[in-house]
Structure 1
């Protein structure tokens, strides 16, 4: 309903205003004596010189593809010579001279017109010189080129107070209005192209290019000294106009969902051919080509209007109806301009309505684009909300899976720890207890030997429990636990222990298993020392080595015992067990022995993420670290 009301209002406005733009001056000069001077090839049957003609005089329509000059002479009555008088000429060009009573009043350009001279779109105002004569003889000489839209409009004469407002109104609608339209079309076209660069949707490309080209063709009226030489300043605006119309028609078809139809592809072809036809029509010139091309435009535009209106009438979408109203507005304005150009005597001077109707059309199309973008943004927001909800749901599911995995990992860790403990108790303590049982059952078994083996079993059990409750990765704590458990036995065996442990980093990735492996390796080494070395002194040192991008912990155990042959068969099993434990820790074990000196060196690489305590220090003679348990003290 809104679209129908706007359409009815527009029709009433057109009917009320009329198809022409009436002059409001005191005197309207519509007839003059013409003297022609033609250049180049032209028909030989020319009218007599001079002869009477009706104004406006459109050079291209009257003379065709011929250059030349036209001198228009007429009289202007002066009712009150004491009042300043003036002339207002809506259109004159391409170059001109104005003479009053045989004296030159004004001049523009050269004769023939230069490549940059074109005043045919700018209204002109001429103040008449003072005179007491009741009639002034005015002669306007026009130099025109073919296809350059030269000629002379009706001339308005009267007092300056009457003429000046008419000139300023014409200047506003022709120049200021053209400047406004060029700016609006340029801004809308640039914004649409920016949107197209982001979204790559073809309808934004059609609209953006169409508006920019329309801005180019509108800007022609702003120049009296053209920025390009003729004929290229004629080719560029004409090509821009001929390409803008089919591009914007294709945009309208895209909005209503007909962007891939045959009509849309045909309009695209017209836009591509527009530079060729404009060049032929201006440079050759083929003046018949432009009317033929306009008929083709009219038929394809009419087909577009039918398609858009059919969709707009049936569609509940508001943007389709707004587009339908905008299309009807442009079609009615184009029809009015066409009618006036062909029937009105003021055709050469009239300001085309389509230039201003196009602003409404452009704003309507811009609103359609904004509405589509608003819907797209809302759809994207809804999609983002849906994706966020789905993502939150999936995150919750993943968190649940991770929680189950963590619980399973804890359960697997506990199971592995129980299996390790079971294996350690079975292989170590279990074997010792079985051996002790067999020893105790032998007649004449020595109680001291039984007690010694029992102490070994108890110490191994305590170290196993300490490893379970110790700090994973703390090498110093693991060493301190070994010292705490075996120190009294070393002292009872008459062996003096020297302890030299520096500041050591925490081993990243170590668990109770690695700590237990280290403790059992040292337990076996100390056990062999007490059982076989016959030593009186022993020393354990640990330090951090850094250099060439590598870090390692070196743990060295020394004694002053009798030594042994490291290659002997009896020494193979114990050393093999210790080397196996060292390999399980990722390190290496080196053994050197000779009478009076035996050395066991364990080298453990430090992981890159491991940290060293901030306060380094050496542990010399300080109390050993206390174990985590208290029941086995």
Structure 2
């Protein structure tokens, strides 16, 4: 991968890592404290003080339709500053007879001028507790939360109209009823009152920061995780893709409680809270396994310890299984606090090994780990009402940052794999090219050696043939001349025969392209004058025959010598007047037939006397995989040379015989 692309990827991951820090000032601007009922830009008023009345109860109850039905006392109201928090108990105490507390917040709006030609809106950035909320205007119920009292949309800001329509009187006072558990504590932000133009952007910004961005980030994480799972199905050895998918699924389950409310739950509060807690435990373990897979230095003891603790905690907190924890959502802060040291240990061990192994993205993961621990600690304070409830939960942004960092790492691995394949292919191509060059050199050397061997063999063949044929004839002629045993005519005949031998030897060196007819035509051209000068008529009845794939100069010379010997025997011994050449084709070869009308001879006796000419014909035919056969009688002699179409085909079935 190019360095510029790597730098761009790291810069993008770092930007998303720092995104939560950049968004926190926006959240603070959306709900920053101001003076008591002080007008803001656009006519919005931020209420920073209210009257509070806390009434003990015996359980959750539906809000009355009118305030008169609640029977609230006139005395006992206390002025409190907003935002207001009540600390949450880490270890819930027995409730006794008081099972719930109802907080009534009374806000006086009589001194506010309603916005012109538009409804008056009430904006509540956050209320958080285990309970429900209801809003009254001039003693009449205007709004009440629905569904679960535990997952009640605590992370959703509230924006509602106080008067039904424009140009209608706005209420002089607002009462907000919060029905909650005593041990759960509570957080109640400042209240904003104003027109739509001055409050809608604040509401939309907080809705974006608290709900929509976490939802979009977790959904994108899960979608990319599903793609990674599909990749893993095709590459089972790459466990990183499976771990990435598992992390995305656990992160989605963990972040559900930030953007869902009780109206949309498909499971009970107990099971939903168990999923929220268990998903955090297994998310930490999956991140641990993912980091181990990256730096290739496993810590088996740490893996066993963390998996054992996660299993024990998951089993102990199963709804309707353990009676030691009757209400898991009351003990969630304590469980989160207990998980924190294990998380710090896991991250510390993995970061140390990643830096030791010089893991390229180790610093990026280290920065995320520090930021994630800081964000988780801050969210723990916010969950336990130890900081202003107008703050934003930052853990979702830590998980979104994890998504971008891990996606960047997976992208690096994915593109790195392609780059490695390209590098290997390039190296393989270079090695293949070098090997081809070596093979080409070897082939050229072999061709040179083969040509030298072929030339040597051809030279030896010609030398042997000229020695046995032309040389022998010349030596015999010389001895006869020296002894005076031959006449001039006989010497001329011998010399003509030697000349024919020389011409045939030269003709055999010409390329005939496996064409037997061309070879026979050459034989006719060389021997026809000699045959006609002997007073013998030549009948040429040669028909087209298939090509002989094995025919080379050596084989051609053998065929020419066999034919030459046969013609010489006819002219020398039979006193024939006609000689006929013909060809035919059988199943596996071709036949060349020479017939004459001269006096026949006893073939078996001639072979038994070891006639050199006949034996040479047999030897040459055997050398090229063929056979010879003589059929002789009073009416003449028929000589047949059988030649195979391909070497090794049908030669064994033919025998050299005589009749």
Question: Alpha carbons of 1:264 and 1:449: their partners in 2 closer, same or farther (altered >3 Å)?
Answer: farther
Question: Alpha carbons of 1:289 and 1:112: their partners in 2 closer, same or farther (altered >3 Å)?
Answer: closer
- Partners of 1:601 and 1:122 in 2: how far apart? 110
**Aligned to 2:470, which of 429, 432, 437?**
429
- Partners of 1:530 and 1:434 in 2: how far apart? 22
Deviations 1:245-269 (Å, cap 9, x if unpaired)? 22223434554x3632346634773
**Aligned to 1:456, which of 477, 497, 501?**
497
Residue 578 in structure 1 maps to residue 617 in structure 2? yes
Deviations 1:85-134 (Å, cap 9, x if unpaired)? 3354746799968574465745644x899xxx975654444333546652
Question: Alpha carbons of 1:294 and 1:438: their partners in 2 closer, same or farther (altered >3 Å)?
Answer: farther
Residue 78 in structure 1 maps to residue 121 in structure 2? no
Residue 556 in structure 1 maps to residue 598 in structure 2? no
**Aligned to 2:210, which of 168, 174, 184?**
174
**Aligned to 2:386, which of 326, 344, 365?**
344
The Cα of 1:420 is off from its aligned counterpart by 1.0
Question: What residue in structure 1 maps to residue 445 of structure 2?
Answer: 404
Question: Alpha carbons of 1:58 and 1:102: their partners in 2 closer, same or farther (altered >3 Å)?
Answer: farther
**Alpha carbons 2:592, 2:640 under 8 Å: kept:** yes
**Aligned to 1:241, which of 280, 284, 298?**
280
Question: Alpha carbons of 1:483 and 1:213: their partners in 2 closer, same or farther (altered >3 Å)?
Answer: farther
Q: For 1:28-107, what aligned pairs fall within 5 Å after superposition?
A: 33=55, 35-37=57-59, 74-79=105-110, 80=112, 82=114, 84-86=120-122, 88=124, 90=126, 98=134, 100=136, 101=139, 103=141, 105=143
The Cα of 1:276 is off from its aligned counterpart by 7.7
**Alpha carbons 1:253, 1:304 under 8 Å: kept:** no
Question: What residue in structure 2 maps to residue 251 of structure 1?
Answer: 290
Question: What residue in structure 2 maps to residue 154 of structure 1?
Answer: 188
- Partners of 1:150 and 1:554 in 2: how far apart? 113
Residue 324 in structure 1 maps to residue 359 in structure 2? no
Unaligned runs of 5+ in 1: 40-48, 609-633
**Aligned to 1:420, which of 461, 475, 484?**
461
**Alpha carbons 2:109, 2:173 under 8 Å: kept:** yes
Question: What residue in structure 2 maps to residue 213 of structure 1?
Answer: 250
Residue 127 in structure 1 maps to residue 161 in structure 2? yes
Deviations 1:441-479 (Å, cap 9, x if unpaired)? 556545544444433332122211211233453333322
Q: Which moved more, 1:454-463 or 1:18-27?
A: 18-27
Cα-Cα RMSD: 5.1
- Partners of 1:577 and 1:151 in 2: how far apart? 122
The alignment covers a number of residue pairs equal to 578
Deviations 1:469-504 (Å, cap 9, x if unpaired)? 334533333222211111112212333223344555
**Aligned to 1:26, which of 47, 61, 80?**
47
Residue 37 of structure 1: SS of its match in structure 2?
A: coil
Question: What residue in structure 1 maps to residue 564 of structure 2?
Answer: 523
- Partners of 1:150 and 1:490 in 2: how far apart? 131
- Partners of 1:505 and 1:31 in 2: how far apart? 119
- Partners of 1:406 and 1:551 in 2: how far apart? 32
Residue 214 of structure 2: SS of its match in structure 1?
A: helix
The Cα of 1:211 is off from its aligned counterpart by 3.5
Residue 260 in structure 1 maps to residue 301 in structure 2? no
Question: Alpha carbons of 1:203 and 1:85: their partners in 2 closer, same or farther (altered >3 Å)?
Answer: closer
Deviations 1:268-289 (Å, cap 9, x if unpaired)? 7369x56981794445364398
- Partners of 1:236 and 1:596 in 2: how far apart? 114
Q: Which moved more, 1:592-601 or 1:525-534?
A: 592-601
**Alpha carbons 2:162, 2:170 under 8 Å: kept:** no
Q: Which moved more, 1:195-204 or 1:178-187?
A: 195-204
The Cα of 1:208 is off from its aligned counterpart by 4.8
TM-score, length-normalised on structure 1?
Answer: 0.72
**Aligned to 1:538, which of 556, 579, 586?**
579
**Alpha carbons 1:281, 1:289 under 8 Å: kept:** no
Residue 579 of structure 2: SS of its match in structure 1?
A: strand
Question: Alpha carbons of 1:309 and 1:575: their partners in 2 closer, same or farther (altered >3 Å)?
Answer: same
Q: For 1:338-377, what aligned pairs fall within 5 Å after superposition?
A: 338-344=380-386, 351-371=392-412
**Alpha carbons 1:58, 1:152 under 8 Å: kept:** yes
Question: Alpha carbons of 1:164 and 1:471: their partners in 2 closer, same or farther (altered >3 Å)?
Answer: same
- Partners of 2:335 and 2:582 in 1: how far apart? 102
- Partners of 1:576 and 1:235 in 2: how far apart? 105
Deviations 1:526-550 (Å, cap 9, x if unpaired)? 22332334433333234677xxxx8
Unaligned runs of 5+ in 2: 1-9, 34-45, 62-70, 79-83, 648-659
